[in-house]
Chain A
Amino acid sequence: DTEVTQTPKHLVMGMTNKKSLKCEQHMGHRAMYWYKQKAKKPPELMFVYSYEKLSINESVPSRFSPECPNSSLLNLHLHALQPEDSALYLCASSHAPGFRLSSQQFFGPGTRLTVL
């Protein structure tokens, strides 16, 4: 299985809502990533988990809260978002640092988020 899955595909939420994005992979990867992508722009790194521990937070506002319950799952909890947070949210996974292919990231299809 060489797939990263993400749910939901689309999400519309109000600024007072609480929602969660989910990501799953079964490739045995121990590094997982959240990216944010605006239209016509490259993906921007938000968070990196390595061995289920948060290793990098790219100064992301606290209204985004990541969680890695186990080695296959990655969640992104959303609360009190702003309209400018509307974007495509991508999850990716890779082998952990120290492995030969640790830089090769596999991406999921993304969740298209709209904040009203």
Chain B
Amino acid sequence: GESVGLHLPTLSVQEGDNSIINCAYSNSASDYFIWYKQESGKGPQFIIDIRSNMDKRQGQRVTVLLNKTVKHLSLQIAATQPGDSAVYFCAENSRESKGSQGNLIFGKGTKLSVKP
């Protein structure tokens, strides 16, 4: 299940199950979204991205869904493995962001815990 509180939201899944990690964004002008995976003691690792002119994009075992109507982004991981255990961050970017730079605004993160 998923718990939200003072600590990092956590999602616990059984190995082999599918995982869905959700992210809400607030800026209607955001036109690019990216998911990162961060394992303990490491830097964020790019997983998949999506532009606002798409509503779905698939990678290897991962799918990102974008619902612009409700400003919601999700990351689906198929057949979750113990190696998928990490903190997952969504990030958004807007063409209106400071200096027109590719600045990313990160979400709070979700910790995925995979039980063998």
Contacts and interface: CB of A to CB of B under 8 A. Distances in A.
B101 A107 contact: no
A42 B42 contact: no
B44 A107 contact: yes
B102 A110 contact: no
Interface range on chain B: under 10, 10 to 19, 20 to 34, or 35 or more?
20 to 34
A97 interface: yes
Contacts of A105: 34, 46, 102, 104
A40 B102 contact: no
A62 interface: no
Contacts, number: 66
Given A42-B108, A103-B93, A110 B101 contact: no
A113 B30 CA distance: 33
A64 interface: no
A110 B104 contact: no
A102 B34 CA distance: 12
A103 B46 contact: no
B8 interface: yes
Nearest to A94: B102
Contacts of A40: 7-8, 109
B106 interface: yes
A77 B5 CA distance: 36
Nearest to B107: A42
Given A40-B7, A40-B8, A103 B42 contact: no
Given A45-B104, A50-B101, A56-B101, 20 more contacts: A31-B102, A40-B8, A41-B108, A42-B89, A43-B44, A43-B89, A90-B43, A94-B102, A95-B102, A97-B101, A102-B101, A103-B34, A104-B46, A104-B49, A105-B104, A107-B45, A109-B42, A110-B42, A110-B43, A112-B41
